[in-house]
Structure 1
Amino acid sequence: MTLTTDLQPAALRRAFSRFPSGIAALCAVVDGEPQGIVASSFTVGVSMDPPLVLFAVQNTSRTWPLLRGAARIGVSVLGSGHEGICRQIASKSGDRFAGLSLHTDDSGSLFLDRAALWLECSVENEIPAGDHAVVLLRVHGHAAHDDAREPLVFHGSAFRHLGVPSFA
């Protein structure tokens, strides 16, 4: 294999797509309206003390400036069957929450039903990182759903599912 020095965004996007990642929806009720983004750059276990997770968001995001001011942000780790929900929330037009089964609490955190994991978070720090910002979130509460679907994975610029081997 020969390394390439093509560091143009399209080439890097193709290269980076070879690393599989989970997908999380980060949502809150802001000024009475649901707001949310999806992130394939979401990482858990950044720190246990204090409890921190992180994700990266594009500087051009129109939703992040609205969401970052929320007292609490609900993180829903998406599972198989959530492909359409992921596309809907990531859409740049229309009612991105129409028809979705949602759960909110007094903090304003907004969660998607049937997610594998819910985390209630607040913004701890935001660090400039080129054309993105890396956002550290402090975890204030969590709920793992045992009846949740298998995780949704993004790999090779497509949604994938983890296969469970059959031992017959």
Structure 2
Amino acid sequence: MTRASVDQRTFRAVLGHFCTGVTVIAGRDGAEAAGLTCQSFSSLSLDPPLVLFCPSRTSRSWPRIRQGGRFSVNVLAEDQQDVCEAFGSPTGTKFDGIGWRLTPGGAVVIDGVLAWLDCSIERVHDGGDHEIVIGRVRELRVERDHRPLLFYRGGHDLDTSLAGKR
């Protein structure tokens, strides 16, 4: 049996038709906060309460978060595109100008998010050029009622992405 070859550009274009929410995965490397923008996030199990996300193997932030053994998932609101861009940057200045706090449990929570989850790392699996991180939810909270930031067809403006493309 031969394996079909899948062109990476086509793969991205096809999967770009699946709308995802946008999160910032954050944690601490000692006293210093680290974070990354992540669209590959999902609930996994209700009992026990598990979630998963998939950081790139080339991420500089993920190894720092992993060392702490915990991570938070910050669900971004549609008015937080600037936060998404800051944490999507490869520079080390991601938290500059971004308000955040620590919960009593130690979770890094970004100001203005829709909701957040505080998780401990249960397992990390191979996922090709990404890793699959499974986390056990320890605490979670809804912060405000607002529309989520969505990623669709390579952008955040769903109305513009859909215009003329039906």
Gaps in structure 2 of 5+ consecutive residues: 160-166
Residue of structure 2 aligned with 1:139, choices 128, 137, 140: 137
Query: Does the 8 Å CA contact 1:76/1:116 hold for their aligned counterparts?
Result: yes
Write the deviation string for residues 8-30 of structure 1: whole angstroms up to 9, x where unpaired. Answer: 22221111111000011111222
**4+ residue stretches of structure 1 with deviation over 4 A?**
none
| Structure 1 equivalent of residue 107 of structure 2 | 109
> 3-state DSSP class of the match of 2:117?
strand
> 3-state DSSP class of the match of 1:74?
strand
Query: Does the 8 Å CA contact 1:152/1:161 hold for their aligned counterparts?
Result: no
Determine which structure has the larger helix proportion and give its number.
Answer: 2
Are the structure 2 counterparts of residues 156 and 6 from structure 1 closer, same or farther at C-alpha, using a change threshold of 3 Å?
A: farther
Gaps in structure 1 of 5+ consecutive residues: 163-168
Determine which structure has the larger strand proportion and give its number.
Answer: 1
Distance 1:8 1:58 in 2: 19
> More deviation in 153-162 or 93-102?
153-162
With the length of structure 1 as denominator, give the TM-score of the two structures: 0.86
| Structure 2 equivalent of residue 166 of structure 1 | none
| Structure 1 equivalent of residue 55 of structure 2 | 57
Distance 2:32 2:47 in 1: 33
| Structure 2 equivalent of residue 76 of structure 1 | 74
Aligned length: 156
Query: Does the 8 Å CA contact 1:73/1:108 hold for their aligned counterparts?
Result: no
Distance 1:120 1:80 in 2: 21
Percent identity between matched residues is 29
Distance 1:55 1:71 in 2: 14
- 1:161, distance to aligned residue in structure 2 (A): 5.3
> 3-state DSSP class of the match of 2:55?
strand
- 1:86, distance to aligned residue in structure 2 (A): 0.6
C-alpha root-mean-square deviation of aligned residues, in Å?
A: 1.7
